A and B are shown apart, each in its own frame.
Chain A
Amino acid sequence: MTPLRRSYWLSMAALVVALPAALAVQCWGSVVDWRADHERRPIAAVVGRSIDYAAASWTVTRLVRFSGREGRVVVLAEFQAVARDPRGLSALPCTVWLSDGDGREWRPTLFPGSVIRKLYPEAARRSLCGGPAFAAAEPGKPAMMVASFTVPASARDLTLSIALHSELPNYLKVSEPEN
């Protein structure tokens, strides 16, 4: 066998290995992305108690609702995270949502409502979950965050969910305290 022919067959043999390997890696990446988008694994937490998640200790300090206008209620969620490296967390996208027993999901409003600004002005000045809140925090000190929602007054069994994308499919899930 000539050297040229040997190189040809070696290349063909390498292709037989490399092509399926490349496809497998690509498929695995798609599976990981799909899981991050569709699969959810809740970590149950309780208001007022800290829980470890995403290399930080998280505590939902307040989850309350206020009556609003025209059959609506405003829900205020305050939470904090203590991390050794808050700057590291600041680069991670964070998603917060509220859901009810019927499976409906609400995203936070851009700005807190007037009732929150009036009753909890300090909370109204805090950041949503994400980069600014973690960037402003010192290592070992809590990053204080807030989210407010507008939902129908008829919504029942509300739960607050917090997800850092690097930790998906795991996310924190906190139920509304019973009165």
Chain B
Amino acid sequence: MWKHSADRRPTHTTSGIWIVAEGEAEARYKTLALTAGEWLSRSGVRYALTDRVPATIDMMPGDVYQPGLPRPVLLVFEVPEYAIPGGTVVVARSKLMPLDDEIRIATNASPNQIEQAITIRRNGEGPPWTVLPQR
């Protein structure tokens, strides 16, 4: 479960688990868009980015990554608890090109690391958001 910092902001609950992945992406040679993210469970089930919350602020269609200019990325998935161990973050340019390259980033996510609640705070300057509590 998570909630935004201001009480007036919505609180999102789930019968499963929210996975919040923070990272950074940078194009190496050419401007590119990254609009597809998935959580790939050990059993091979793919969970798409959640559309329940506007949290994937930097992976929206139209956003691009420029060579030499790294940008932070925030990915949020809603999955059942048994999909966590051994899961992998998968990022690709588009869902519309299933044969295109994708990167798979192994994680050490564990059911023992689940927080009861987290807050994603939008920042006015500096990093666009802060996830609390920080690990």
Contact = CB atoms under 8 A, between A and B. Distances in A.
Interface of A: 72, 97, 103-107, 110, 150-152, 154-155
A110 B62 contact: yes
A151 B62 contact: no
Contacts of A103: 29
Interface of B: 28-31, 62, 64, 66-69
B31 to A, nearest CB: 4
Contact of A151 (B30, B64, B69): B69
A155 B62 CA distance: 24
Contact of B66 (A106, A110, A154): A106
B69 A72 contact: yes
Contacts, number: 30
A150 to B, nearest CB: 6
5 contacts: A104-B28, A104-B68, A107-B64, A151-B67, A151-B68
A51 B70 CA distance: 36
A151 B30 CA distance: 11
B69 A152 contact: yes
A106 B29 CA distance: 8
B35 to A, nearest CB: 14
A106 B31 contact: yes
Nearest to B63: A110
A60 to B, nearest CB: 20
